[in-house]
Amino acid sequence: MPHDGLDFRQRAQLSELMDEPCTREVIEACLRDLARVNRWFGAYRPVLRWLDEVRPQTVSEPVRILDVGCGYGDGLRRIERWARERGIPVELTGIDLNPDSIAIATSQSDSRIRWIAGNVFAYRPPRPAHLIVSSLFTHHLGDSDVVRFVRWMEENAQMGWFINDLSRAAVPYHLFRWFAKLAGLHPFVQHDGPVSIARAFVPGEWRQLCTQAGLTQDQFEVCSYTPARLCVSRRKP
């Protein structure tokens, strides 16, 4: 289990079990429990609220939305429902480095979502995405790769991008440890959930990283959401 003596003033240098080699069965069980946690804690709300704010009114073609680090695919399927409820034609693509995650996401979906196994930094969409989103992805990256990812999104998103991740703090770290145990979540989730919080960023760090990526302070927004979410967004003019 994660260590109690963490200093939350800085990112923890801890590893997550799901980032290590394991069977597809284990990955599927973990992703299924993570999807449950996402539903219980309203993890989709920040990106759906942002989509309501930025949804294009003048695009004469389906809105192309790319989800980076899509995992189980539950976030992208929720976006698909959002679009259907509003009559917005969309082309949805999910990309994840883990081919097992993509196989699992494909098996859970009977829609036209396109699923791709690959490294996002080597991926060039056939046509630029209008919008790029990610959820619980950036805390897996080192600082330099976060800067690289922001630059990549700037190059490949025509209208904007949204990062939906966690906020590093002691209270949610310890609360999730107890919740995951009481809820009987998969042992990997019990371990990785608190570690993810300890590896996440705080607002000042996000502002510094986005500045390093070449953005000015008025070009992006850092917003907190309850519980324990910290999101970074960019709307292009």
- State how many domains the chain has: 1
Task: Please check whether residue 187 lies inside any domain of the structure.
Answer: no
Could you tell me the pTM of the whole model?
0.94
With respect to residue 16, please indicate whether it lies within any of the assigned structural domains.
Answer: no
- Does residue 177 form part of some domain? no
Instruction: Compute the distance between CA of residue 61 and CA of residue 63 in angstroms, rounded to an integer.
Output: 6
In a domain, 101, yes or no: yes
Domain span at 78: 40-166+200-235
Q: Is residue 32 part of a domain?
A: no
Which CATH number is 161's domain given?
A: 3.40.50.150
pLDDT tens, N- to C-terminus, the chain (237 residues): 445 678 899 999 898 998 888 899 999 999 999 999 999 999 999 999 999 999 766 667 899 999 999 999 999 999 999 999 999 999 999 999 999 999 999 998 778 999 999 999 999 988 999 999 999 999 999 999 999 999 999 999 999 999 999 999 999 999 999 999 999 999 999 999 999 999 999 999 999 999 999 999 999 999 999 999 999 999 998
Q: Does residue 71 sit within a domain? A: yes
